[in-house]
Amino acid sequence: MAYLFDEPSRTFSEYLLVPGYSSADCIPKNVSLTTPLVKYKKGEKSAISLQIPMCSAIMQSVSGEEMAKALAREGGISFIFGSQSIESQSAMIARVKSFKAGFVPSDSNLSATHTLQDLIDLRQGKGHSTIAITDDGTNTGTLLGVVTSRDWRPSRTSLDTPLSEIMTPFNQLVYAKEGITLSEANDIIWEHKLNSLPIVDDKNRLKYFVFRKDYASHKDNPNELLDAKKRYLVGAGINTRDYKERVPALVENGADVLCIDSSEGFSEWQKITLSWIREQYGDSVKVGAGNVVDADGFNFLADSGADFVKVGIGGGSICITRETKGIGRGQATALIEVAKARDEYFKKHGVYVPICSDGGIVFDYHMTLALAMGADFLMLGRYFARFDESPTQKVNVKGSFMKEYWGEGSARARNWQRYDLGGEGKLSFVEGVDSYVPYAGPLKDNVQLSLSKIKSTMCNCGALSLPELQEKAKITVVSSTSIVEGGAHDVILKDSNDTQSK
């Protein structure tokens, strides 16, 4: 007969953290959530670390370029979804990498013969208020001038006015030559009270802009996840079918880390993919793998060369893999076993392979439980799908604002590569649903609230770092009765409208 596990398969809601001793120093502002993203050897540091233990799921309805920018700004990372063309995914990566470079290639350019109407149309499409005017209308042409919102008014300027009559000409611009440092450029911006500083080469051809808002953004977001060139870090999902074409394109366009996106990762297909990447790039390309739910799966992917391993099958809010195929494992049980396997692997081989808990998060306290159970970071889908920055539409459903949210295995996404078992190259049956989630507003506000809960709970456990949390945390299984006891009970709750009116 089949192997039968002794213990039941448990979820996060079946556990609680038991408080430990908290010293006077154990306050939220002293808590560090820094965590490794990719593997490292004993005595070394991870090549990439996150400032917060959060990444967004490899999903069409979650991880687009706006999500990548917003999450990197908070210290996490997004994995741009791979269920699109190689060209489209690579372009998304390139736009994220160019967005926060300090030195930003100009994305809005016109020639001097274009009109005010052309400028207005470009602003509406791009959303930028600073437009470079070059001799050929490209972002590498000779800079003739710049138009900002201060240079024109639609009520006083004819729409057919050429930009040569509106722009601030080059000889009146404050600019800098290529080779200037970012610090020096920012000094010029502040000295001359500028919003932007064009950077040109020795022939006055436009190279970059440096923006005041980027400096302010960094000061307002000290946890920004940046590379050595001050660009946002961004990840990308890949599959085990077209990786030979997709991986080079993603790497060329600046992807910092890749992840094999699969519903079940304990397979030869993932080993083949990892082996090819190592043969082509060595350890210079970082790539995670998964998903697995036990020690055997973790050890297989770690031995195959994965830089991190994702844990979880069937626990996502839009995933019906367990329902349709009968495979998976309660997320808490899976995570606890894989965390033990990771620690044993580290002791045996001297290589620490981080694990990512993917799925099963319903409440914010589940995040802290997952981290205490051994997760190095969390991959979240539904959580991020609710925010302004997710790529889906905000819609009104029966009087309430919602965001669309669908699974990669749904009929809408039809991401057959994620569920590929070497078959016919199609989605034979769905393993995900198409749904709505309540709209929750901007990412920053929500993430900061969730992180404040995590930090506060860590202090209750006497921990100021994630390794310390995993060392000190005490976890207890709860009964169904105590779950009821943990919420509001034996009271009549006030109507929310009444509460707000008071």
Q: Is 73 a catalytic residue?
A: no
Smallest CA-to-CA distance from 161 within 115, 121, 119, 120 is with 115
Q: What distances in angstroms separate CA 448 from CA 67, 74, 456, 482, one per listed residue?
A: 15, 8, 12, 29
Active-site annotation holder among 246, 329, 418, 461:
418
Smallest CA-to-CA distance from 82 within 298, 258, 294 is with 258
* Measured distance CA(198)–CA(234) in Å, rounded: 26
SS3 content of the chain, % helix, strand, coil (to 5): 35, 20, 45
- In the Cβ-directed half-sphere of 99, how many Cα atoms lie within 13 Å? 24
Ramachandran category for residue 342: left, alpha or beta (phi over 0 → left; psi -120 to 50 → alpha) = alpha
Q: What distances in angstroms separate CA 153 from CA 120, 147, 150, 334, one per listed residue?
A: 11, 12, 8, 61
* Measured distance CA(240)–CA(444) in Å, rounded: 34
* Measured distance CA(332)–CA(354) in Å, rounded: 16
Q: CB within 8 A of 224, min separation 6: which ones?
A: 51, 72, 73, 74, 75, 100, 217, 218, 232
Q: Are 71 and 451 in contact (CB under 8 A)?
A: no
Write out the H or E segment, with its range, that includes residue 257. Answer: strand 257-260
Active-site annotation holder among 26, 319, 356, 461:
319
Q: Is 319 a catalytic residue?
A: yes
Within 410-465, residue ranges assigned H as helices are 443-460
What is 6-65 written as a DSSP string? SS----GGGEEEEP----TT--GGG----EESS-EETTS--SSEESSSEEE-S-TTT-SH
Structure tokens at 392: 């889906």
* Measured distance CA(502)–CA(497) in Å, rounded: 9
Q: Which residue has the tokens 């709860």?
A: 478
Number of H helices and E strands in the chain, helices first, is: 16, 24
* Measured distance CA(119)–CA(111) in Å, rounded: 10
Structure tokens at 482: 């105590």
Q: Which positions are catalytic?
A: 319, 418
